[in-house]
Amino acid sequence: MQQTATELSSATRFDVVIMGGGYAGLVQALHLTRVLPKASIAIIEPRTPDEIAAIDKIGESTVEIAANFMTRDLGLANYLAGTCPPKYGLNFHWAKQEGTTETANDYFSSWVPQGPKIPCFQLHRGRFERDVTKMVAKAGVHFVRGKVSDFSFGEGEDHTVTATTGEGEEQTLTAGHLVDACGRAFLIGRKRDTIRRKPEDLYGLDSFASWIRVKGVDPSLIESTTQTRRSSVSGYFATNHFFGDGHWVWTIPLCGKENILSIGVVAHRQRHSTKDLATKEKLLAFLEKHHGVVHALADSGEVEDFKALVRPAHISDEMLGEDNWYTIGDAAHFNDPFYSMGTSSIAFMVTSVTEVIRAKMAGEPDAEDKRSNFNHFNIGWARTSLHTVRDHYKHLGNASAMSWRIYFEYIWWFGFWVPMFIGRWHLQPEFLKRIDPTNQLDFIQECYEDLHTLVERGQNAGFADPYREDILAGPEFCPPKDDTVDYLADSAYEPQRLNIYRALGMTLRKSAWWVVRFQWKLNGVSGLLRPRTIRRVGFLLGRAIGCAFFALEHDLKSAHRKKDAFIEDFDREFQGYVPPRLTSATDP
């Protein structure tokens, strides 16, 4: 019989207590119930279902890693397909002429030509969290409707958490494992002094954001002649990025039937003042000045709410602690909603935390080794994703520089990060000991510095559209469609079955080719002969050669490996299949 919050006083010890019942806390609980169905789990959350349904958070858009996690790991495929708008990738737009932005035709655009390999979705965060709260409760997770008022670390013993309900009553829970999913309250981070929010700790990132949700917008305003001609999917049902000097604007459809649209601006203090976006009226004025088409979208409906964050970015020095505590979601890190990577970061964290809890509860001897490696990986991933928006303010408004930057980052996303999650290689300690996510950051920073040069010269190096196959020349290549590693084939879907080293080797080779092509565009022959270019290409190709040996090793080890368990069972069962005998039809 499922226990309710009012019955909690007789059972206050849980295997896992999660502080916070937002997206991160809910999906952590749901994932635990699927992997450890016998574990006792409690969530402490002060908001009622109606209050949850009304929230207006950043993080409404999913991309491939988050979508795969939600469908494959959480079993939400039917729910998402039936209730959430599809997301047809990311579109990018730069004004052809400053001051002329009234329609989508006034922009140089990179339009998604077709649906993503992995179906993605747009989330109305409030409604999604309300619905998943019900699913989690049905799965047996216990809810305490209260606010965490105090907690202490067990230091080898159970942790203790005190929650205060709306009526002022206190309830004390003890937990073998403690998860902080309370977002920007930073419960564990503040107690351990591990949160870093200053620009010097964030590769110089100094941004702010504000956003609105608008009901009843006119989707046709996002259409353009180019998009209609070259794309087989809706341009409106994507995450659209509109760029300007030191800022970018998003549009995200949250509900198809009601035409609710999230519109937000991320701006950098190197170019803008927080006062520019401090109120709903100022946000709308900013849109009218810089992006008329987006202002027209907002003006076509009714603004429902307004939200602002003065300093959205931060990072934690610790994420999976030695004494069975964990920080996930915004409690661990956040940088920028660009590329919609927030929910994908949560996918990495949640699966890591679940595996550590599972291993520790099972008494496995390598549980601490997993914890240490997963902690290092998730911090490295957080720094890598943070680095992705480094010096953004210098490039955002320049269509040539920013398009080359996006193309380069797409090579890594689709070539390495997505296959790595699909293959669950982030849960393989031996692999993590070989691959440090931050190893390539110095090289990437050099690429960004070359983009700085392009901007400072006022030079046009062409438009690098990641959805075209002719940008790098030579063999046809398009980052979202690369099939070097078919990570969606059934036979490769089992953890650590696909050859991640082959995927990484391809990514390194394509990155080297990107360097060559961009240097040719930037400096001609002299750019190709620069010692820095030769060193950079040599570094990438050298690592690619190393990956080739690891790829061969993986293939040799896999040669005698049994088939995927599901496929093996299917093939065994099918051996006994007797086809039905054909009979001739006869008239009655």
The token pair that represents 248 in the structure block:
């970018």
In whole angstroms, give the CA distance from residue 457 to residue 588: 85
3-state DSSP assignment of residue 40: coil
User: What DSSP assignment string belongs to 127-156?
Assistant: HHHHHHHHHHHHTT-EEE-EEEEEEE--SS
Cross-strand partners of 19: 44, 180
Tokens of 580: 């039905």
HSE of 377, CA atoms in CB hemisphere, 13 A: 30
In sequence order, which ranges of 413-564 are alpha helices (DSSP H)?
Answer: 418-422, 429-434, 441-457, 500-523, 525-529, 531-558
Tokens read off for 566: 């599901």
Both ends of the chain: CA-CA distance in Å? 57
How many other CB atoms are there within 10 angstroms of residue 299's CB atom?
17
DSSP 203-256: TT--EEEEEEEEES--GGGG--HHHHHH-SS-STTSEEEEEETTEEEEEEEEET
Q: Which residues of the chain have pLDDT under 50?
A: 1-10
Q: With the CA atoms of 315, 316, 317 and 318 taken in that order, what torsion angle do they form, in degrees rounded to the nearest 10?
A: -140
Pair 410, 480: CB distance under 8 Å: yes
pLDDT at 51: 85
The 3-state DSSP class for residue 111 equals: coil
Collapsing DSSP to helix, strand or coil, 180 comes out as: strand
Distance CA 137, CA 128 (A): 14
pLDDT in the model for residue 585: 61
Confidence at residue 8, expressed as pLDDT on a 0 to 100 scale: 45
Instruction: Look at residue 11 in the predicted model and tell me its pLDDT.
Output: 56
Closest CA to 411 of 480, 360, 497: 480
- What is residue 223's predicted lDDT score, i.e. its pLDDT? 87
Nearest Cα neighbor of 412 from 310, 345, 330, 503 is 503
pLDDT of residue 225: 83
27-58 pLDDT, tens digit each: 999 999 999 999 999 999 998 888 888 777 66
CA torsion through residues 161, 167, 169, 171, sign: negative
Q: What is the model's pLDDT at position 349?
A: 98
CA pair distance 68, 332, nearest whole angstrom: 21
Question: Shortest CA distance to 12 belongs to which of 133, 146, 188?
Answer: 146
* Mode of pairing for the β-strands spanning 41-44 and 13-19: parallel
The predicted structure's pLDDT at residue 307: 94
- For residues 559-575, one letter each, b for 16 or more C-beta atoms within 10 angstroms of the residue's C-beta and e for the rest, the string is eeeeebeeeeeeeeeee
Task: Give the tens place of pLDDT for each residue, 223-270.
Answer: 888 888 888 999 999 999 999 999 999 999 998 788 999 999 999 999
**Distance between CA 106 and CA 293 in Å, rounded?**
9
Query: Could you tell me the pTM of the whole model?
Result: 0.94
State the pLDDT at residue 485.
80
Beta strands, E only, 310-350: 314-316, 325-327, 333-334
User: In degrees rounded to 5, what are phi and psi of residue 334?
Assistant: -160, 140
The pLDDT of residue 227 is 83
| Matching residue, tokens 């932005």 | 101
Predicted local distance difference test score (pLDDT) of residue 587: 61
Q: What is the pLDDT of residue 439?
A: 85
Both tokens of 559, joined, read 């040669």
Of the candidates 187, 164, 142, 215, which has an alpha carbon nearest to the alpha carbon of residue 19?
187
To which residue do tokens 């982030």 refer? 426
The pLDDT assigned to 257 comes to 80
Task: Retrieve residue 31's tokens.
Answer: 């994932």
User: Which two tokens mark 585?
Assistant: 């039809």
